[in-house]
Amino acid sequence: MSASETERNLSEIQQEGLELIRESGGIHQSDFWKELDVSSRKGSRITDALLEAELIEREETVYNGHNTYFLMPTAKDLDFSLLMAGDMLSPFIGEEEVDPNSDSFTQWLMNLAYEE
Amino acid sequence: MAFEDLLEDPVIQKYLHELVGPTGMPVAAAPPDGEVTDEELAEELGLELNDVRRALFILYENDLASYRRVRDEDSGWLTYLWTFEYDNIPENLEEELYRLLDGLERRRDYERDHQFYLCEVDSIRFEFEEAMEFGFECPECGSPLESMENSRLLDAVEERIVELREELGVERERRAEA
């Protein structure tokens, strides 16, 4: 099943939860259920479903003195167009080292400053 | 074909093109479902076996393909069965976003800490110290070096840094962690 199909099969509240995690760029589980205005149990069920569908990721963390999870969108939701300057892709791709003074990076920066 | 969702993204197409080059692109752009041999791909795409192998090896080096070897019981020959691992593309590109952020932050510091001089004839840029050594004359053509503004470049760099930090959820200066 493709990612977009998986998303269409979510319930309304699961979709709202996913939207919240994407828009915030990352949120603690304890804030998540409060913002969604559901119980903490319902909140965990929603995040379990989103984790199961691989639409989000989570990390254990301590927040306000409590153990909780930090919920994040998965990498596939990132805006990869930030690698582009005009029609040029980041010159560090395929290179071992990041050389901030390379000619190819200068060219990329010129595109960024003068063509966008 | 598999991974249609990913391959619709023009940045991902560009990324694959960057890795495998134009001759490898037919291989990279049409990943089959399940396992496939290099010979099958070459025949299906009408390509030289060497070009197919080269593309597969580059994908393998970038965690975008894997293989398993099977020995043919009759001939004793080894066959490589390839699987495309394009699920790893988003994570690879996430890593590239971090690398780009790192490059931009280091370049911003360099641009901020230096003064530049330009030969308008040859379009060569010199740092202040270099320009002074050459007596503010272009070593190539002898025309005078003019002081050069880089605020437009710096603004563009700064703006992209902010966008990347926001997208990656990086709040602190990465250099501050080191």
Are the beta carbons of A24 and A73 closer than 8 angstroms? no
Q: Do B98 and B163 belong together in one domain? A: yes
DSSP SS3 for A61:
strand
* Final residue belonging to a domain, choices B84, B116, B148: B84
| Tally of domains in chain B | 2
* Final residue belonging to a domain, choices B55, B84, B113: B84
Q: Do B90 and A76 touch (CB under 8 A)?
A: yes
* Final residue belonging to a domain, choices B57, B84, B111: B84
**Span A15-38, average pLDDT:** 91
The lowest-confidence range among A22-26, A52-56, A90-94, B59-63 is A22-26
pLDDT value for A24: 82
Q: Do B46 and B114 belong together in one domain? A: no
Q: Do B115 and B169 belong together in one domain? A: yes
* Closest to B7 measured CA to CA, from B21, B28, B23: B28
Domains of chain A: 3-76 (1.10.10.10), 80-115 (no CATH)
Q: Do B31 and B56 belong together in one domain? A: yes
Q: Has the ipTM of the complex gone over 0.90?
A: no
Domain membership of residue B150 as a residue range: 90-177
Q: Do B45 and B115 belong together in one domain? A: no
Q: Do B70 and B96 belong together in one domain? A: no
Residue B14 has pLDDT above 70, yes or no: yes
Of the partner residues A4, A82, A113, the one whose CB lies closest to the CB of residue B163: A82
Confidence of residue A112 (pLDDT cuts 50, 70, 90): very high
d(CA B48, CA A67): 57
Q: Do B69 and B117 belong together in one domain? A: no
Q: Do B73 and B144 belong together in one domain? A: no
Confidence of residue B171 (pLDDT cuts 50, 70, 90): low
Q: What is the CATH number of the domain that holds B74?
A: 1.10.10.10
Q: Do A90 and B100 touch (CB under 8 A)?
A: yes
- pLDDT tens digits, residue range A9-24? 889 999 999 989 988 8
Q: Do B95 and B172 belong together in one domain? A: yes
Q: Do A78 and B167 touch (CB under 8 A)?
A: yes
**Span B121-149, average pLDDT:** 92
A93 touches chain B (CB under 8 A): yes
- pLDDT tens digits, residue range B136-167? 999 999 999 999 989 999 999 999 999 999 88
Are the beta carbons of B64 and B95 closer than 8 angstroms? no
- pLDDT tens digits, residue range B66-119? 999 999 888 888 999 999 999 999 999 999 999 999 999 999 999 999 999 999
